[in-house]
Chains A and B, each alone.
Chain A
């Protein structure tokens, strides 16, 4: 098989001393930028691009891909240990990772994150190796109506996300959607909802600002109230029994791994979506399909595995359209794409044949980067756990500083820091009133994607919604749309269904 020879050559390329050294170095940097709130893979890669002018393109892409990859792993660390999403891609990891840590099962959460990431990353790179060209064709046929249908499907899974209180969940979704419309109108380019004419609103509400505010500041306030500044957990031991328990818990997460890997990869190869929506959607769908969906949010390993698996899978997936079509599948690949052009490569359909060493070197390096980050992460778990032994009175100011820098970093604007603090207090109050906040965070990410796809589709169809249900012309869109409707109705009938199902089981 041609593919395997090429892949082997690629793996050899990534074992060259310079490449291997850069790969390991890149993974470490990635872990760091991923774990630092506000510094995600986007910033990490953007900052490092100028350095890559002095090394060959293959080494450069291996290095930057390792940074990208490591960041997917690293994001989980601060999500679990501090309750601040380390990167936008790890926001969904907070949902269950943080409660697990608070319950004293941080070890399980970190193991689940590392293993989940490894599985997602490996499955996707295998899919990438085997099916890159046909998948590029799929990405090419996936246009505005299909994207909107997919977004509707994602929103449908959110309704079940906030537990049984559907009205409160819908309220939360609508708040997120309203916030996502602030800034620039996506189609006409006119400013929209610029409160008090403050220029900072022109770039909209950055989703990380909301997530760091709600989860970082809100969580900090909440924990301060609960622990009164004392050490959060006193009993924390790392022994073989704990390790065994952590790995044992993974048995129940096989479904989450499957959903995360395949959904993540698929969302990743679609243009403009990327790892953040993929991880959020994977969480929503896993929860929806899980037998014990009610426990999600209170700390289940599957709730950590689903998003972590998906974000690694999607980050590999998003390199596919970058390489084969020259379009970024995520914000980070947008910068990588710029890098490729600066290194003198032309991304596009011919890249695989013109630059085999570059392409296959990158693919080969992904296998190795995955393995390396898994080992590194598992080995470092005891070090990460030390964080929980610090009294919260000391930890709280550190978290606060991390939140402020995290809110500032993406746009370098103080305006966003104030907004972040405001969201922090709002998040704290919402939590006191028992409102689910996750759906708001999800909708601020997917809102703009959905709005754009909807309006593009409606321009194409001259305003007719029929474009989404046209089985003859756009079968993919129609099928996804029908699935979405079923998913939307499910939570309403869910309790009825479960009642019926349980009865059938017991008799």
Chain B
């Protein structure tokens, strides 16, 4: 930041102080670097979005202080959530969500996390969808052209599914599909979506339920194909893949949410500041282009709409977990 910019900032903030002493409402701006907690490892989907958000903020100087991403991957997000819970009232901490924020409080009650009271939801930026993938030359899935072919095959044979770890989104999805279609599969966990995709193409597993970006390379090269996308509509990044609604399975709908939350107990002004910052990032051209090309859905949600959405998703995941065991 140049000296002139800094000076300008000082003048602006001084004048803001002057204004605020009159109006008594004090707009918030960060006073030290903002910690962005990522409840997953480096190189995964949440990490990618977190670092993209950081990059967009830094490149365009959207915030007056730097954003520092910190990975706390332990305990399926348990470590990160415990950390943020302890930071109640802290004005310089944010957390990006995976769906593990919905499942870990239920699966690990010993952590004592209250999803609805320990965090301040700020905004949802993106939702990521899931697809059913098979290898084009899979030895156990020969002749499978449609999702119905696949269901018929999966019912009779114990297929092997590669996934990203126990009680992760894709294993819950398998649980959902078991209830809906009456087939089961042998679930083999891998380290992240990339390794899952490789296991499929390498012939170790028969199908996967990966995110679009995780399988994009093998999709474009023709090594793997998708049978259904679990959304109401087709996705422009995968024009030839039918949606679950088209195939007549509207119950097969599932999303991964990329939302941001702050610790509990922060002032409304702070909440407003970060929501505004995220909103600026959301409308950034680069941010939009990247995510759309990657097959993600841009789905801004804030305020009461977000709270309702989280409540519904939380209940839905509780139900899936209950039926799972």
Contacts and interface: CB of A to CB of B under 8 A. Distances in A.
Contacts of A326: 194, 197-198, 216-218
A505 interface: no
A459 B55 contact: no
B196 to A, nearest CB: 9
B54 A50 contact: yes
Contacts of A50: 51, 54-55, 58-59
A79 to B, nearest CB: 24
B216 A348 contact: yes
Nearest to A46: B42
A49 B187 CA distance: 34
Interface stretch (A2-10, A299-307, A339-347): A339-347
B165 interface: yes
Nearest to B199: A143
A140 B198 contact: yes
B208 interface: no
B87 interface: no
A346 B219 CA distance: 11
B48 A341 contact: yes
Given A53-B59, A202-B75, A325-B198, A349 B293 contact: no
A53 B217 CA distance: 22
Interface stretch (B77-85, B115-123, B271-279): B77-85
B108 interface: yes
Contacts of A141: 202-203
Nearest to B52: A342
Contacts of A140: 198, 201-202
Given A331-B42, A334-B42, A456-B190, A412 B70 contact: yes
Contact of A327 (B187, B197, B286): B197
A191 B78 contact: yes
Contacts of B74: 183-184, 199, 202-204
A229 interface: no
A271 B194 CA distance: 10
Given A202-B78, A271-B198, A331-B42, A342 B223 contact: no
Contacts of B160: 460
B167 interface: yes
B285 interface: no
B290 interface: yes
A349 B217 contact: yes
A281 interface: no
A359 B79 CA distance: 38
Contacts of A144: 188, 204
- Taking residues whose C-beta sits less than 8 angstroms from the other chain, chain A's interface range is 35 or more
Interface in A371-426: 411-412
B75 A342 contact: no
A101 to B, nearest CB: 33
A350 interface: yes
A344 B290 contact: yes
B55 A189 contact: no
A50 B54 CA distance: 7
Interface string A476-506: 0000000000000000000000000000000
A104 interface: no
B interface, by DSSP: helix, strand, loop or mixed? helix
Interface residues of B, number: 57
B182 interface: no
B217 A350 contact: yes
B221 A189 contact: no
A71 to B, nearest CB: 15
Contacts of A143: 199, 202-204
A184 B201 CA distance: 28
Contacts of A347: 217
B43 A189 contact: no
Contacts of B293: 344
B160, B192, B203: which has the most chain A beta carbons within 10 Å?
Answer: B192
B43 A459 contact: no
Interface in B154-175: 160, 165-168
A335 B70 CA distance: 13
A194 to B, nearest CB: 8
Contact of A335 (B43, B52, B201, B294): B43
Interface string A26-54: 00000000000000001000100110011
Interface string A316-360: 000001000111100100110110011010111111000000000
B83 A342 contact: no
Contacts of A230: none
Nearest to A448: B191
B76 to A, nearest CB: 5
A186 interface: yes
Interface string A420-459: 0000000000000000000000000000000010001001
A199 B168 CA distance: 20
Given A326-B217, A342-B51, A348-B221, A187 B191 contact: no
B101 interface: no
Nearest to B194: A327
Given A337-B194, A342-B51, A348 B202 contact: no
Contacts of B55: 49-50, 53, 342
Contact of B79 (A190, A199, A328, A349): A199
8 contacts: A42-B42, A53-B286, A144-B204, A190-B166, A321-B198, A331-B42, A342-B48, A348-B220
Interface of B: 41-43, 47-48, 51-52, 54-55, 58-59, 69-70, 72-76, 78-79, 82-83, 107-108, 110, 160, 165-168, 186-192, 194-195, 197-199, 201-204, 213, 216-218, 220-221, 223, 286, 290, 293-294
Interface of A: 42, 46, 49-50, 53-54, 139-144, 183-191, 197, 199, 202-204, 271-272, 321, 325-328, 331, 334-335, 337-338, 341-342, 344, 346-351, 411-412, 452, 456, 459-460
